[in-house]
């Protein structure tokens, strides 16, 4: 009884609504490629001259490659360590839920999900400055540590669904706890690792508040922070500003174009739990 | 066995210590400062008891920021959930180029909130007014972000534009868990589309509805990046969110202790709202 033919009315509605998503992105590209004269003629038209000098100027003005390097370093390092350490903590908790210490630890971590960042925002700046951690390594450590609240929750749920027999067999064969974790459990975590990896990657890459309050040195600024700092200088030259926005957005868009199916799939998988 | 136990402790204790040092300790410090009059830089400060808390309840700026934040959070939560559920239903139907459209609708989720805000800031000030003029409407030809009564609507629009992406994906995942034969059975019984939605689809999405409502509300209550990019809290203080007020007052206004007290109240508010939402929505799930 289920209709096999294409539902055209819905297709048309979905297509029309998707224009609302695409229009601001089209405008971003179009403005980035125009010069002020073309803008004066018509804001909406396709660019005619392709003014790539906007990009060259934006790269110079924002020190783009430096910021790109910072964002990439922070994101890659944080995500790798989040996957390695948060899963390990969750494993120890999941396999010892009958013990009071680990059970309390579990609730301790997940209860932090409800603490808004603003309540620790002011003191954390003080703590990190006192420890000389108001720099990129400090920022990375904070991302790894703050990841625990949500990630332990997701990992523990998944690890508890892995049959215990697998580990018992490994123990009988003489594997240590560490060996069991790295050789048996960690590879089995692939689907959750994908989800957590994608989520952490997106939130770290796009985070604005933590770099804003923590990073003192301009050389260590991330991509969003650079856009914010240079916003004032751009206010007269929109073409330059949009070239800069587009440059800042493009690494993620490129990754998304290639890994779209995988990214959406990974997020869906994690949410079904 | 002792070795096994030692390994488990080794796996968790460093994480516990770091988490305490960088999360719990600052939170406790924040609570401690909220009872003092520290400005954030002076060498000395005094204990003032509940003075900060009492003053906060009399502070019009604080009150305004709570009103704005609630208004904004409720509007975005409702709109995001309605729209993303509709889009998810559309994307789950038999449509052409399904994967392409899924990709498009999810795209905003991967973009930086701040930069999306900057882009919309320009659209609100230079592009939409051009359309408004063509339509001959005085109201639409102004920059909505410059109007203290309507600026909050502009921020809601941007948040919804970006926020529907993630919730759509979650609803879509939910829709795919509903078995097909339920719809076949209801078709045989001659149920209308409308009836089908309210009797099958919506009840079976209950747990996804709970997650989406709680996430959207929490995100709305913590709004910060959009405001920085769109209005900076203005015009006047009309779009100053609680998070922005704590940030500006605490770091730039010499109100470290005072805003710490505000953050403590904010924390209590968020916990109470999340708990109430969970309780109310989960009760609905169980009644099914």
Per-residue three-class SS string for chain B: CHHHHHHHHHHHHHHHHHHHHHHHHHHHHHHHHCCECCCCCCCCCCECCCHHHHHHHHCHHHHHHHHHHHHHHHHHHHHHHHHHHHHHHHHHCCCCCHHHHHHHHHHHHHCCHHHHHHHHHHHHHHHHHHHHHHCCCCCCCCCHHHCCCCHHHHHHHHHHHHHHHHHHHHHHHHHCCCCHHHHHHHHHCCCCHHHHHHHHHHHHCHHHHHHHHHHHHHHHHCCCHHHHHHCCCCCCCCCCCHHHHHHHHHHHCCCHHHHHHHHHHHHHHHHHHHHHHHHHHHHHHHCC
Percent of chain A with pLDDT over 90: 27
Contacts of A84 in chain B (CB under 8 A): none
Sequence spans of domains, chain B: 61-113+145-287
Classified by CATH at the fold level, domain B61-113+145-287 comes out as MetI-like fold (1.10.3720)
How does pLDDT run across A111-143, given as a tens digit for each residue? 888 787 888 888 898 888 889 888 899 999 999
Q: How far apart, in whole angstroms, are the C-alpha atoms of residue B157 and residue A271?
A: 26
Contacts of A141 in chain B (CB under 8 A): 18, 22
Model confidence at A273, in pLDDT bands (50, 70, 90)? very low
CA torsion sign for A193, A194, A199, A204 is positive
Q: Do A245 and B115 touch (CB under 8 A)?
A: yes
Query: Between chain A and chain B, how many beta carbons pairs sit less than 8 Å apart?
Result: 248
How does pLDDT run across A164-194, given as a tens digit for each residue? 888 888 888 888 888 888 988 899 888 889 8
Residue B219 has pLDDT above 70, yes or no: yes
**Residue B117, pLDDT score:** 92
Number of C-beta neighbours around residue B91 at 10 A: 22
Mutate one of A15, A25, A67, A122 to test the B interface: name it (highest B CB count within 10 A). A122
In order of A86, A95, A273, the CA distances from A160 in angstroms are 15, 7, 12
Q: How far apart, in whole angstroms, are the C-alpha atoms of residue A30 and residue A33?
A: 5
Residue A207 has pLDDT above 80, yes or no: yes
Structure tokens at A123: 């003191």
Residue A215 has pLDDT above 80, yes or no: yes
Q: Do A261 and B99 touch (CB under 8 A)?
A: yes
Nearest to A209 among B21, B90, B224 (CB): B224
State the burial class of residue B196 (Cβ atoms within 10 Å of its Cβ: 0-12, 13-18, 19+).
middle
Residue A49 has pLDDT above 80, yes or no: no
Percent of chain B with pLDDT over 90: 26
Give phi and psi for A187, each to the nearest 5: -65, -30
List beta partners, residue A133.
none
pTM value is 0.88
Which of A97-101, B48-52, B112-116, B223-227 comes out lowest in average pLDDT? B48-52
CB A117 within 8 A of CB A67: no
List beta partners, residue B47.
B36
**Residue B194, pLDDT score:** 83
Nearest to A227 among B108, B114, B211 (CB): B114
**Residue A1, pLDDT score:** 43
How does pLDDT run across B28-44, given as a tens digit for each residue? 988 998 898 888 777 77
Q: Do A119 and B99 touch (CB under 8 A)?
A: no
How does pLDDT run across B99-149, given as a tens digit for each residue? 888 889 999 999 999 999 999 998 888 888 888 778 877 777 788 888 888
How does pLDDT run across B61-82, given as a tens digit for each residue? 899 999 999 999 999 999 999 9
Residue A33 has pLDDT above 80, yes or no: yes
Structure tokens at B13: 């204790």
Q: Is the peptide bond before B235 cis (omega within 30 degrees of 0)?
A: yes
**Residue B254, pLDDT score:** 81
Q: Do A178 and B7 touch (CB under 8 A)?
A: yes
CB B220 within 8 A of CB B167: no
**Residue B232, pLDDT score:** 83
Q: Do B12 and A93 touch (CB under 8 A)?
A: yes
Q: How far apart, in whole angstroms, are the C-alpha atoms of residue A243 and residue A58?
A: 6
């Amino acid at each position: 009884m289920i209709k096999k033919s294409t539902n055209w009315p819905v297709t048309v509605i979905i297509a029309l609504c998707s224009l609302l998503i695409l229009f601001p992105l089209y405008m971003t590209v179009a403005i980035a490629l125009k010069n002020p004269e073309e803008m004066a003629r018509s804001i909406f038209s396709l660019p005619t001259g392709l003014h790539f000098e906007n990009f060259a100027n934006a790269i110079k003005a924002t020190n783009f490659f430096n910021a790109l390097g910072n964002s990439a370093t922070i994101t890659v390092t944080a995500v790798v360590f989040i996957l390695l350490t948060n899963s390990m903590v969750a494993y120890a908790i999941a396999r010892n839920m009958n013990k009071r210490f680990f059970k309390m630890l579990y609730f301790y971590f997940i209860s932090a999900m409800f603490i808004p960042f603003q309540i620790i925002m002011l003191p954390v700046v003080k703590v990190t400055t006192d420890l000389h951690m108001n720099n990129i390594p400090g920022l990375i450590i904070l991302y790894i540590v703050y990841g625990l609240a949500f990630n332990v929750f997701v990992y523990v749920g998944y690890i508890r669904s892995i049959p215990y027999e697998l580990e018992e067999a490994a123990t009988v064969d003489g594997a240590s706890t560490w060996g069991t974790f790295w050789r048996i459990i960690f590879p089995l975590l692939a689907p959750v690792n994908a989800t957590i990896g994608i989520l952490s990657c997106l939130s770290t890459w796009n985070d604005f508040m933590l770099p804003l309050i923590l990073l003192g040195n301009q050389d260590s600024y991330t991509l969003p922070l650079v856009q914010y700092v240079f916003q004032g200088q751009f206010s007269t030259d929109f073409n330059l500003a949009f070239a800069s926005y587009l440059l800042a957005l493009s690494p993620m868009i490129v990754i998304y174009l290639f890994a779209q199916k995988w990214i959406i799939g990974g997020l869906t998988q994690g949410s079904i739990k | 066995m002792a070795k096994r136990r030692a390994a488990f402790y080794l796996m968790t204790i460093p994480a516990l210590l770091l988490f305490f040092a960088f999360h719990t300790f600052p939170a406790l410090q924040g609570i401690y400062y909220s009872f003092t009059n520290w400005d954030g830089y002076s060498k000395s400060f005094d204990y003032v008891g509940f003075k900060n808390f009492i003053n906060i309840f009399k502070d019009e700026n604080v009150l305004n920021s709570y009103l704005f934040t609630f208004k904004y959070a409720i509007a975005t939560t409702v709109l995001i959930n309605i729209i993303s559920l509709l889009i998810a239903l559309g994307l789950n139907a038999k449509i052409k180029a399904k994967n392409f459209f899924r990709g498009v609708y999810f795209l905003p989720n991967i973009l930086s909130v701040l930069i999306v805000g900057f882009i919309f800031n320009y659209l609100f000030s230079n592009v939409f007014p051009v359309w408004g003029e063509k339509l001959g409407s005085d109201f639409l030809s102004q920059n909505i972000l410059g109007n203290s009564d309507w600026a909050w609507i502009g921020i809601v629009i941007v948040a919804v534009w970006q926020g529907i992406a993630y919730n759509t994906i979650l609803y879509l995942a939910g829709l795919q868990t509903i078995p097909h034969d339920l719809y076949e059975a209801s078709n045989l019984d001659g149920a209308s589309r409308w009836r089908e939605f309210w009797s099958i689809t919506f009840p079976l999405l209950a747990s996804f509805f709970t997650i989406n409502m709680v996430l959207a509300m929490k995100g709305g209550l913590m709004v910060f990046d959009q405001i920085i990019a769109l209005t900076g809290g203005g015009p006047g203080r009309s779009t100053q969110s609680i998070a922005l007020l704590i940030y500006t007052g605490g770091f730039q206004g010499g109100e470290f202790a005072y805003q710490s007290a505000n953050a403590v109240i904010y924390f209590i508010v968020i916990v109470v709202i999340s708990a109430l939402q969970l309780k109310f929505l989960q009760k609905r799930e169980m009644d099914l």
